[in-house]
Every structure is written in structure tokens, then in C-alpha cells.
Amino acid sequence: MIIEWIPGLSFPDWADIVQTAADAALLTEGITETCSVTVWLTDNPGIRQINKKTRSVDKATDVLSFPVLHLHPKATLKHSRSRMRAAYDDHLNAVMLGDMVMSAPMVNRQAAAFKRPIARELAYMTVHAVFHLMGYDHHTREDKREMRAMEEKALNRIGLGESGGPSDEELLALARSAMRRAYTPYSHFNVGAALKCADGRVYLGCNIENASYGLTNCAERTAVFKAVSDGATDFTVIAVAADAEAWPCGACRQVLNEFAPRIRVLVTWGDNHVNEAPLSELLPHSFSSGSLMDASEGLNNG
């Protein structure tokens, strides 16, 4: 999923959550093609104005969706491949699904009202909007039940639903999705990573190259640094996706060892080939904070 932000309120730490939640919604629908959504984060007066202009509703709501695809009644995106092809944007190299508008104050207010973390409320609004763009609705009780079930499946994929987080297969699918956003103008070797925290949350990363090659960052470290900057330091599984079999490099193994020496490492490539190994096998005799303490004790005893 390509998320395009248009001018509005600035919440840079929200962008990753929106991106990851949108990816999860697509994968839950069974869509692996690259799609694009334009997102506008606004305030209550802003969304009220849009409501009044587009829906003749003179009030602020939480999130609005404006689909590009006009699907047949009861049909969703996975049943509308021909319409997806017609909506392909050559400039974006993606299928344009439409626009979503979200009220930041409503995210905060509803998170407080339902006693939920803001990240969970933001992710819920995102998947709700994306499923609308994919043809789901809640006009009838049956429709609402179906849409809500899909939303919960998407939230579970990223550890923000009622379950304990994604399965290995779902984590690998998220890594493949992240791989499509890699910035690799020099090697053209795209890698994506999906890092699962002990509490079920998921952080995605891709490799980001630089003309000064030494400044290139691997997908695994991108995911770890995003997680740590968000306060997460306890990890259980990392999935790595590439076009060919690619295990974490030495630097990534060392960074993973800093936080999760017992983490499981999954790799996937080609036609859904999968392999697995514990980090302790990939980095035997590792150097850690314990090594520093041992060295310090040795100096003191000396």
C-alpha cells in the first residue's frame, strides 16, 4: 500500500501506524497488488466542512472514505480484478483506491472514551476507511458483522486486535508488503522486514540505500529502530522478505542481539519459500552488554 499524505495537521509518528494498518487491511482482503490511498489528517472543523459539502451532514465525524472504484453491490475488491486494472495509475505504479479523511481530535477523543491506546484507535479508523474503499459497508446488520470481522482480522495481523498478534504466515506477508517500499536505486535488491513485539505489535521496515553506500540501512534495522523509538524493546520474531534468500547481515544480527538474543528469524523469497533459524544459531558467541560487564569486572579484579 502506498500512503500519500496531503497538507493538513502534522503527526509524523502516526504515519507508520496508518501505513501498517492499511497494509494489513489489503492483505486481509487477499490483495497483494500495490495500491494507493491519499490520506488527509485534519481537525473537527475541517472534517465537518467536508461532511457538509459532500454528504450534507453538518457535523464532525471521525473518518471519511471516498472510493475511486465503483464496485457492484455486495462485491468487494478481491472480486473486482478488472476494475482494479482499470484504476491502475501509471504515475504511482499502483491501483488508486481513493481518499480518506481523518479527524485527529476524534482519534484522541474516542481513544480516551473507549480506554484504548491512541495507536489502536488510529489503526481501527484506518482499516475501517480502507475496507470502505474496498467495497465494504455497514448498512445492514449482516454487512456490519462482515465488515467488523474483517477489521478485527486486520487489527490482529498487527497486534492491535483481540488476539496475540499475527501468525508467522501473516508476519511473512507483511514483510513482503514492506519490501515493495524499499529504496534501492543502486543495488535494486529490495528487502522488507516485519518485527513482532512480545505484546503482539508489529513494526515494518525496508532497506534504504544511500549514494554514500556505508550509510545504507537494512530493512531489519529500520524495523528495530522504528520499534525502539516507539518504546518497544522486547521482540519475539522477525520476518525478512526478498527476491532471493537473504538472511540478516552481521550488523543486523548484532542489533537484534542487543534487544532479543532469543528472537526467531524467518526468511522468505521467490515463490513463497520460507526458512527459519534462531538468532543464537546465526550469531554464535555473540557480543552483548554482558560482555562489557564481564570485561569491567575483570579490570576491577585486576
Give the active site residues: 220
Residue-wise DSSP of 131-197: HHHTT---SSHHHHHHHHHHHHHHHHHTT-SSSSS--HHHHHHHHHHHHTT-B-TTT---EEEEEEE
Quote the DSSP letter at residue 203: E
Quote the DSSP letter at residue 71: P
Side-chain-side CA neighbours of 79 within 13 Å: the count stands at: 9
Q: Given the C-alpha cell 471521525, which residue does it identify?
A: 62
In this structure, are strands 264-269 and 273-278 parallel, antiparallel, or unpaired? antiparallel
Asked whether 74 and 63 are in contact (CB, 8 A), the reply is no
Residue-wise DSSP of 241-295: EESS-----HHHHHHHHHH-TT-EEEEEETTTEEEEEEHHHHSTT---HHHHHHH
> Strand 235-242's sheet: what is its strand order?
202-206, 191-197, 235-242, 264-269, 273-278
- 157 residue type, one letter: R
| CA dist 171 → 19, 24, 223 (Å) | 15, 10, 13
Residue-wise DSSP of 248-260: --HHHHHHHHHH-
The whole-angstrom separation of Cα 301 and Cα 94 is: 63
Residue-wise DSSP of 123-148: HHHHHHHHHHHTT---SSHHHHHHHH
